């Protein structure tokens, strides 16, 4: 339908993070700097997933299939990297967003279907999931550290 766009949302719920966010919202006049720092951290980590070809927990992405390799060779596209075509379009369209009560990353406009295909896979097209969005336990600990630093006035 004209005027609509596909939106993919992955929410991350963590009680320790939620508790600290509640504290932040009640004790700090302007929580946006903390949210901006978290969003910037999430952007960096998401791009790291691409560079390291791994999911948020550090598991390697599925290797390219023979069909994909053949298609890449025919198009003179590099075959040594997964999800890296002639450009890093999907990786480079990841951007941070934040407000007073949320922080996250998003893919650029027009990449929603492509992003979802690689995040979740596509059984109909034999495309393996290669998740890049999400937080590991270490990432969550970093978010908690950022929030604690803001609450302590260290930042």
pLDDT digit string, tens, across residues 73-83: 998 888 888 88
Within 8 A by CB and 6+ apart from 55, the residues are 49, 61, 130, 131, 132, 134
pLDDT digit string, tens, across residues 12-34: 677 877 787 778 777 778 889 99
Token pair in block for residue 35: 């949210």
Where along the chain do its domains lie?
15-152
pTM of the full predicted structure? Answer: 0.81
């Amino acid at each position: 339908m004209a005027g609509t766009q596909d939106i993919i949302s992955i929410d991350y719920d963590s009680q320790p993070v939620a508790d600290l966010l509640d504290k932040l919202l009640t004790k700090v006049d302007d929580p946006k700097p903390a949210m901006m720092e978290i969003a910037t951290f999430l952007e960096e980590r998401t791009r790291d997933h691409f560079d390291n070809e791994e999911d948020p927990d550090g598991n390697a992405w599925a290797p390219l299939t023979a069909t994909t390799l053949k298609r890449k060779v025919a198009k003179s596209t590099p075959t040594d990297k997964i999800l890296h075509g002639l450009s890093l379009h999907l990786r480079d369209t990841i951007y941070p967003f934040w407000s007073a009560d949320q922080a996250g990353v998003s893919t650029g406009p027009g990449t929603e279907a492509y992003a979802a295909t690689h995040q979740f896979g596509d059984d109909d097209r034999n495309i393996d999931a290669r998740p890049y969005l999400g937080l590991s336990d270490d990432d969550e600990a970093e978010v908690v550290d950022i929030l604690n630093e803001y609450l302590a006035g260290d930042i």
